Amino acid sequence: MNTLKVILLISALSGLLVIVGYVVGRGKGVVIALILSALMNFGSYWFSDSIVLKMYNARPVTQTEAPVLYDVVTSLVSKAKIPMPKLYILPSDTPNAFATGRNEDHAAVAVTSGLLNMMNRDELEGVIAHELSHIKHKDILISTMVATIASAVVLLSRWSVFFGNDNDSAISAIDVAIIAPVAATLVQMAISRSREYEADAGSAGMTGNPEALAGALMKLSDMSRLKPMNANPATAHMFIVNPLSAGTIMGLFSTHPPIEKRVERLRKMKGGWT
């Protein structure tokens, strides 16, 4: 059901891009919209992982430096039947983690130093399994594609104010400039939340211990509220929990489902692995 939902939402987002392109320049505008989206997707596919890792000063970590992390990841990739990702540490006391990379063979998992210091082994396994589920389910590719289409919608909607042709239009360029970015953001957030639920379920299935991730999420949420990361909002969807202060973004525009709902779902799964 979630997969069908994501397909429908991506289709809606793509349709929105075409509509905005049409408002900007009719047939030519649609072509421009599709070319712009393709170019942005190409750039994101090849370079987004290196950009985000540099953004957070992530450094590669060796097995000698983080033996427990390596042991956990090695065990879980064997269960998930995916290649070993590159491992990075972010210099932040706030616990958090994300996965990036264009595919299973070029993937990376990054964790903060705070995560390694705060989580016990079971909780660490739950977090890492969540990130590996994102890699296995190709969520990194999906989120990259969605983010670039949404960005193209926003960019073109701004152009519509200056270049849009309102003749015989049911909706004005000004309307498009206001409505399209909000709609694109809402669709992007809905897809992101859906993939987080799927990754939580994937973690529970991989470890056989949904309570471990539930406990980790509660710790992560508490620390994120007490000490938010200095994170770029454009990358917030990548992290296992929203790295920004809860008060800075309305729930409607949150990239993540409420922690309470995620924990509730995980605890309902507990009986399936006991």
Query: Residue 228 is encoded by which pair of tokens?
Result: 């938010």
Map 80-116 to HEC letters.
HCCCCCEEEEECCCCCCEEEEECCHHHEEEEEEHHHH
Of 131, 196, 198, 211, catalytic: 131
Q: How far apart are CA 238 and CA 41, in angstroms?
A: 17
- Which CA distances in Å does 33 have to 19, 21, 30, 183, 191? 9, 5, 5, 17, 21
Between strands 86-90 and 107-112, the pairing is parallel
Q: How far apart are CA 228 and CA 249, in angstroms?
A: 13
Q: How many CB atoms lie within 10 A of CB 25?
A: 18
DSSP 186-214: HHHHHHHHHHHHHHHHHHHHHHS-HHHHH
Give the closest residue to 255 by CA, choosing from 200, 181, 198, 193: 193
Residue 131 annotated among the catalytic residues of the structure: yes
**DSSP letter at 165?**
-
Angle CA 106–87–206, to nearest 5: 85
By annotation, the residues acting in catalysis are 131
